[in-house]
Amino acid sequence: MSLKTSIAAVALALTAAPALAAEGERVQITGEIIDTWCYFSGVMGGPEAVVGSAHHTCALWCSAGGIPVGLLGDDGEVYMVLKINGDDQSASGDTQLTLASHEIVADGMLYKRDGLNYLVVEAVVEDRGITNLNHEDFGVVPGFAIPKPKK
């Protein structure tokens, strides 16, 4: 290998490597499908209040509105869902919408980049429905999610 070739190879490796897709890891994660903006931003309160039944209507709105959904794992990590059961419509897709606030067991591939976890869910192994009944503690979040009944 000539000097020029070696230098070019090293330079190419240094610049091209970050652009390549990361190596994935097969995982099985149990957790709740959440809306990530409310969770990360704190715009509607603390993390405990923007999950579960209390936040279910808002989770539907956010998912339908194209806000990324995540799987909040039992380990406390958030896994940004990029594809689920073959559906790559991660911005307002039907599959993720029907799972809003549900506790699921997901089998798929995990990728990590720049502090975020990304998950390609190949199969929802189990759908347990909404199991976090935190409306008993927090009511509904946000408060206007359930319209006042007309008399």
Partner 1 sequence: MKKLIAALAILATPLATSVAAQDFSEGSTAKSWNLYAEVPATFEAEVVDILCTVAGDCAAQCAEGRQLGLLRSADNVLVFPNKNSQSSFNGAAYDLHPYCGKMVDVDGLLIEDEDIQGATNIYLVQKIKEAGAADWAKANKWTKVWAAKHPEAKGKGPWFRRDPRVNAIIADTGHLGQGLSPEEAYEITR
For residues 4 and 2, give the distance between their C-alpha atoms in angstroms, rounded to a whole number.
5
Query: Which of 74, 80, 70 lies closest to 118 in space, CA to CA?
Result: 80
- Determine if 34 is a binding residue for partner 1 (CB under 8 A): no
Separation of alpha carbons 67 and 36, rounded Å: 7
Would you call 80 helix, strand, or coil by DSSP? strand
Which one of residues 105, 107, 118, 125 is an interface residue with partner 1 (CB under 8 A)?
A: 118
Angle at 91 between CA 143 and CA 83, to 5 degrees: 120
Could you say whether residue 129 binds partner 1 (CB under 8 A)? Answer: yes
Interaction of residue 86 with partner 1, rule CB under 8 A: no
**H or E, element range at 31:** strand 25-35
Per CB under 8 A, the list member of 48, 77, 107, 122 interacting with partner 1 is 77
In the complex, the residues that contact partner 1 under the rule CB under 8 A are 1, 3, 6-7, 10-11, 14, 18-19, 21-22, 24, 36-37, 39-43, 47, 53-54, 56-58, 60-62, 64-68, 76-78, 80, 82-83, 88-94, 97-98, 100-101, 109, 111, 113-118, 120, 129-130, 133, 135, 139-140, 145-149
